């Protein structure tokens, strides 16, 4: 391990929910839950105000509604989240060429590789400035951990949440980790944690005292060796700038099981098209097509077919997915469908349409079939998703508070306005239309408030920021 805390871990605080609060003045300081709103939806992110009621990520949405019935429940706006994530990642790349994104809201940075930090003082300054720049540029907060290894930097950022900075000084790692729960360590989930607890091991100190041989006996060779190394605070993993994408996939969970075989086939075609759009957006192609089907009884089938070479042709992927679906029994009902592509490459093989659809097939005919499917899916979707942006010709910019029974309720406000008024319209009101999200921070604010915020210094010492749920 290093002798200076020059690995930084950034974790944005309740990212999706914080974006929604920043864009909607009426929701600031209130419980906000973002995720799928259907009967089978799950929570993507809950604001810290919602976490007080026990709501957390990956919880069934129905359970979240029981725990926090008065929270605001919103449909995700992934396009906006990605654009803000790109802003944050650009700030990280100003610190170092070695940035390892883990998700839209989380990344490791090797400060030493960028010449940004070489000791404790310079690392702390880099962390303080980063948090200030994120706040100035996006209006959001992020928690920062600084340590001599990736494992400890991530643990530090968890200790810093929300809106704090924690630096672990080299040489103090063992003393810090010792009293912590074994669940603090990466890879120790509920099942492994329970298994260790039954063996009388609940803290990292007890893990180290058990010894490597005992851990191998308890959890297996590979996991046992890794656990023992982590208990001793050993972690030599480098920050890797480019993480190889292994697959691209999309899936949908349906509020009501699909029994109609024709509808199942149409859904698979729609998913195949979505998957190809995502594939092309990443500049990739792939040669293995994967179909996932979860049936009414929760049994899940995965089927795959490998082509002669990589493709990003929607007709090829649709045809392969249809062939994979053909032998699958769906008579009892389907609750989830997914289509994916793996075996990725950055080129395509132009003659692959023939192998999937036949030499004499007409690609334009396949595209013609897809158009009605897409139109039908668009009509089936909710026209006014909760939380999404709209514009009214008279009242201006707002967001959907709810819809149903032919009506849509809109709150008219913007990120830099006061909490706005609520009005209700017919869902087909010609004066109301979907709109693009507004920037969370105006250019005027960015130009006038750039630079580090002195108020952040107080939270930038070891132990700064309170503990909280990790997103």
Residue 419 to residues 25, 392, 396, 416, Cα–Cα distance (Å) = 5, 17, 14, 9
**Could you give phi then psi for residue 345, rounded to 5 degrees?**
-150, 170
**Could you give phi then psi for residue 90, rounded to 5 degrees?**
-65, -40
> Where is 106: in which H helix or E strand?
strand 106-110
**Other beta carbons within 10 Å of 78:** 12
* Whether 106 is catalytic: yes
**Other beta carbons within 10 Å of 327:** 8
CA distance 159 to 307: 47
Catalytic residue among 100, 106, 158, 267: 106
CA distance 270 to 322: 11
> Where is 213: in which H helix or E strand?
helix 212-219
CA distance 93 to 289: 34
- Buried b / exposed e over 79-103, threshold 16 CB at 10 Å, is ebbeebbebbbebbeebbebbbbee
**Other beta carbons within 10 Å of 59:** 16
For residues 119 and 4, is the Cβ–Cβ distance under 8 A? yes
Closest of 187, 162, 127, 138 to residue 45, by C-alpha: 162
Which of the residues are catalytic?
106
């Amino acid at each position: 391990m290093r002798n200076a805390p020059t690995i930084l871990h950034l974790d944005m605080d309740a990212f999706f929910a914080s974006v929604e609060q920043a864009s909607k003045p009426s929701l600031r300081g209130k419980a906000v839950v973002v995720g799928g709103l259907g009967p089978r939806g799950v929570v993507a992110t809950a604001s810290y105000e919602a976490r007080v009621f026990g709501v957390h990520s990956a919880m069934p949405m129905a359970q979240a509604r029981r725990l926090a019935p008065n929270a605001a429940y919103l449909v995700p706006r992934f396009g906006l989240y990605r654009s803000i994530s790109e802003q944050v990642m650009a700030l990280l790349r100003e610190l170092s060429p070695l940035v390892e994104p883990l998700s839209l809201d989380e990344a490791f940075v090797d400060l030493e590789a960028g010449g940004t930090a070489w000791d404790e003082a310079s690392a702390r300054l880099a962390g303080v400035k980063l948090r200030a720049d994120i706040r100035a540029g996006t209006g959001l907060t992020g928690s920062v951990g600084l340590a001599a290894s990736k494992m400890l930097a991530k643990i530090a950022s968890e200790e810093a949440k929300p809106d704090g900075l924690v630096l672990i000084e080299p040489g103090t790692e063992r003393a810090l980790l010792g009293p912590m729960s074994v669940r603090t360590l990466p890879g120790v989930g509920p099942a492994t944690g329970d298994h260790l607890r039954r063996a009388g091991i609940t803290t990292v100190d007890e893990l180290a005292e058990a010894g490597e041989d005992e851990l191998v006996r308890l959890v297996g060779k590979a996991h046992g060796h890794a656990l023992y190394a982590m208990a001793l605070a050993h972690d030599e993993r480098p920050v890797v700038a480019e993480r190889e994408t292994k697959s691209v996939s999309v899936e949908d969970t349906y509020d009501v099981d699909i029994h109609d075989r024709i509808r199942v086939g149409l859904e698979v075609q729609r998913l195949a098209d979505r998957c190809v759009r995502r594939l092309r957006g990443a500049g990739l192609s792939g040669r293995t097509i994967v179909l996932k089907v979860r049936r009414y009884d929760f049994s899940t089938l995965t089927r795959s077919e490998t082509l002669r070479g990589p493709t990003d042709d929607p007709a090829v992927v649709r045809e392969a997915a249809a062939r994979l679906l053909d032998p699958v029994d769906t008579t009892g009902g389907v609750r989830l469908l997914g289509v994916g592509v793996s075996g990725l490459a950055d080129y395509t093989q132009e003659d692959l349409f023939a192998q999937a659809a036949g030499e004499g097939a007409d690609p334009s005919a396949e595209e013609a079939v897809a158009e009605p499917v897409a139109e039908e899916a668009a009509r089936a979707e909710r026209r006014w998703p909760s939380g999404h942006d709209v514009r009214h010709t008279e009242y201006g910019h707002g967001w959907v508070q709810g819809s149903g029974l032919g009506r849509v309720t809109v709150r008219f406000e913007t990120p830099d306005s006061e909490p706005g008024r609520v009005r209700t319209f017919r869902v087909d009101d010609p004066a109301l239309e979907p709109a693009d999200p507004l920037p969370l921070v105006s250019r005027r604010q960015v130009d006038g408030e750039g630079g580090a915020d002195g108020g952040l210094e107080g939270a930038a010492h070891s132990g700064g920021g309170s503990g909280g749920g990790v997103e």
